[in-house]
C-alpha cells in the first residue's frame, strides 16, 4: 500500500489512501516511531551493502568499528543536547574489491574474518599448549595485542574447533576445516588479504538509497559527501520518493571552504527550495577540538531533528558535544541565510558566566517559494515533521483497518472518518495541533466506486520564535 501526496485532478495507480497537504498539517506524538535517522557510511568492518539497525554509539562501534566515515554515524547518534535518536538505519557501502582477511594453518583449518574490510588484517591467532590437559590446545584470537576470544579444543578434533568458533556469537572470525592434520602449538598465525574496497562511487550511493527506500526513517543524511554528482542524484531520489509517500527529511551541507563563504551555502539552499530538504551552512567543533564542516554536521542535525517530539521545535536547541562553530556569522549574514532558507548554527554566549552554547538559529528548511497553497508555515521543520507523520499514520491506519475492509457507503466512510478524528483528537489533547479539527468528504469531488475523496484539516501549533516588545517609559 502506498500513501504519498495527492492534488485535485490527479489519479493514482496504486491502492492506497492519499492525503492532500496544502499549508496545513497535522501530526502525532508517538515515541516508538520518532527518532529514526538513516545514513550511508564507508567502513573497515561490518555488514556490507545492506541495512543495519543500531541503537546508539556503542552499538555503532561494535558493529562497524571506527574507520572510514563511521564517525559521522556516531555524530548522528549524539543528536541534540536533550534528545537522541532511538534508532539508526546504517548502510555500509562497499565495492566489489572488498575482501575478508584470512589466516591459514596448512592441512588443518583456516580462519576468516567475519566481515570484509581492512580491520581483519589486524587479527592474528595462536595455538598454545593447555597446561590443564596435555591432549588439548588453546586457540586464541587477537586484535593487535588484545585477546578477543579463546577456545580449548582436543588436538585431533578439528570439527570441534570449527564448531566452537562458529557457534560463538561474539566471535570476530569464522572457521573452516581444510584437512586432517592435528593441532600443534603455533606462535602466530597472521591474517591477511582484508580490503575495505575501492573509493565508493555514485552508483554505490544509488544502491544505498535503493535500500533506504524500503525502511522507515524520519531523516536521512549523507556521510559528509559534497560531490555535486552525488548530491544531484540524492536530491532527485528524494523528490521521487517523497511523492510516493516516503516523506524523509534530507539534511545536506557543504565543505569547510564553502562554509567560509555563506553566500555559497545560501545559493545551495536556493537551488533546493524544497520543504523536505534542510541545508546547513555552518560547521561545528566538538569538545575534543575536532572540526566538522556543515556537510559533516548534517548527520548530527538529522539525528537531532528526528529525535524531537512533534510538539517541539528545534529552534534554539543545543547540539550534544558541540562547543563552537567553525564560522561565526554576523547578524546581517544570519538574516540573509534565514531568507535564503539556510539552516544556521550560532554561538550563544552567556554574558555573565561566558559559557558558550552552540544552538540552532531557526528550525527551517530550504523552502522559500511561498504561494497560495504553500505558505510560510511549510518552511518550518516542525510543520514538515507534522506533515510526514500524519501521512504515515493515516496511511498505516487505512492499510490495517480500511482498505479492502470497509464498504464505500455512508457507514463505511463514517467509520473511516471516526478513526482519523480520534487520532487527531489525541494529538490535540497533547497540544500538538489545535482542537479545531475537520474530517469529512470533499465537497468538490464525488466519492464513488472504490474511491473516497476525503479532506482532513488541523492547524499546527507554532512555538514562540520571535518577540517584539514596545516599551513605554
Radius of gyration of the chain (CA): 27
- At 387 the pLDDT is 80
In terms of average pLDDT, the best of 42-51, 430-439, 445-454 is 42-51
426-443: buried (b, 16+ CB within 10 Å) or exposed (e) per residue?
Answer: ebbeeebbeeebebeeee
- Domains for the chain: give ranges and CATH numbers: 23-94+198-473 (3.40.50.11780), 102-190 (2.60.40.4290)
- What percentage of the chain carries pLDDT values higher than 90? 66
Please write the tens of the pLDDT for every residue from 333-370: 999 999 999 999 999 988 888 888 999 999 999 999 98
Decide if 414 contacts 374 (C-beta within 8 A).
Answer: no
- At 21 the pLDDT is 41
Give the CB-side neighbour count of residue 85, counting CA atoms within 13 A: 33
- Output 309 or 234, whichever has higher pLDDT: 234
Strand-pair partners of 141: 125, 149
- At 466 the pLDDT is 65
Name residues whose C-beta falls within 8 Å of residue 353's C-beta, 6 or more positions apart in sequence: none
- Output 55 or 421, whichever has higher pLDDT: 55
Please write the tens of the pLDDT for every residue from 377-397: 789 998 888 788 877 877 777
- At 472 the pLDDT is 76
Give the pLDDT band of residue 31 (cuts 50, 70, 90): very low
Give the pLDDT band of residue 26 (cuts 50, 70, 90): very low
Amino acid at each position: 500500500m502506498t500513501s504519498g501526496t495527492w492534488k485535485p485532478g490527479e489519479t493514482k495507480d496504486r491502492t492506497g489512501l492519499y492525503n492532500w497537504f496544502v499549508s496545513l498539517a497535522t501530526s502525532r506524538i508517538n515515541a516508538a516511531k520518532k527518532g529514526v535517522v538513516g545514513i550511508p557510511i564507508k567502513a573497515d568492518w561490518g555488514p556490507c551493502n545492506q541495512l543495519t539497525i543500531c541503537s546508539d554509539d556503542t552499538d555503532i562501534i561494535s558493529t562497524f568499528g571506527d574507520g572510514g566515515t563511521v564517525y559521522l554515524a556516531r555524530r548522528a547518534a549524539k543528536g541534540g543536547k536533550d534528545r537522541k535518536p532511538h534508532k539508526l538505519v546504517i548502510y555500509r557501502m562497499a565495492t566489489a574489491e572488498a575482501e575478508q582477511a584470512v589466516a591459514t594453518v596448512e592441512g588443518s583449518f583456516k580462519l576468516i574474518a567475519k566481515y570484509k574490510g581492512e580491520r581483519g588484517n589486524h587479527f592474528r591467532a595462536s595455538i598454545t599448549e593447555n597446561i590443564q590437559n596435555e591432549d588439548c590446545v588453546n586457540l586464541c584470537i587477537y586484535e593487535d595485542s588484545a585477546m578477543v576470544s579463546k577456545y580449548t579444543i582436543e588436538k585431533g578434533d578439528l570439527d570441534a574447533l570449527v564448531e566452537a568458533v562458529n557457534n560463538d556469537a561474539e566471535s570476530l572470525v569464522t572457521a573452516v576445516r581444510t584437512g586432517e592434520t592435528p593441532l600443534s602449538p603455533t606462535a602466530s598465525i597472521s591474517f591477511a588479504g582484508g580490503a575495505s574496497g575501492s573509493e565508493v562511487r555514485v552508483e554505490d550511493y544509488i544502491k544505498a538509497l535503493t535500500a533506504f527506500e524500503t525502511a522507515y526513517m524520519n531523516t536521512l543524511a549523507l556521510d559528509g559527501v559534497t560531490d555535486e554528482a552525488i548530491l544531484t542524484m540524492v536530491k532527485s531520489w528524494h523528490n521521487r520518493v517523497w511523492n510516493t509517500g516516503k516523506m524523509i527529511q534530507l539534511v545536506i551541507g557543504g565543505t569547510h571552504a564553502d562554509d567560509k563563504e555563506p553566500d555559497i551555502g545560501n545559493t545551495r539552499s536556493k537551488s533546493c527550495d524544497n520543504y523536505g530538504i534542510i541545508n546547513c551552512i555552518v560547521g561545528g567543533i566538538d569538545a575534543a577540538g575536532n572540526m566538522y564542516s556543515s556537510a559533516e554536521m548534517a548527520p548530527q542535525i538529522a539525528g537531532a531533528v528526528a529525535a524531537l517530539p512533534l510538539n517541539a521545535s528545534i529552534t534554539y536547541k543545543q547540539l550534544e558535544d558541540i562547543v563552537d562553530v567553525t564560522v561565526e556569522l554576523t547578524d546581517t549574514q544570519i538574516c540573509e541565510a534565514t531568507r535564503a532558507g539556510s539552516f544556521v548554527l550560532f554561538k550563544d554566549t552567556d554574558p555573565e558566566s561566558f559559557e558558550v552554547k552552540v544552538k540552532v538559529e531557526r528550525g527551517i528548511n530550504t523552502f522559500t517559494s511561498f504561494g497560495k497553497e504553500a505558505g510560510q508555515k511549510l518552511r518550518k521543520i516542525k510543520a514538515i515533521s507534522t506533515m510526514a507523520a500524519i501521512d504515515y499514520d493515516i496511511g498505516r491506519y487505512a492499510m490495517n483497518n480500511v482498505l479492502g475492509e470497509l464498504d464505500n457507503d455512508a457507514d463505511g466512510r463514517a467509520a473511516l472518518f471516526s478513526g482519523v478524528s480520534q487520532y487527531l483528537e489525541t494529538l490535540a489533547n497533547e497540544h500538538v495541533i489545535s482542537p479545531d479539527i475537520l474530517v469529512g468528504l470533499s465537497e468538490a469531488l464525488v466519492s464513488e466506486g472504490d474511491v473516497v475523496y476525503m479532506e482532513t484539516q488541523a492547524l499546527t501549533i507554532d512555538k514562540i520564535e520571535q518577540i517584539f516588545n514596545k516599551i513605554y517609559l
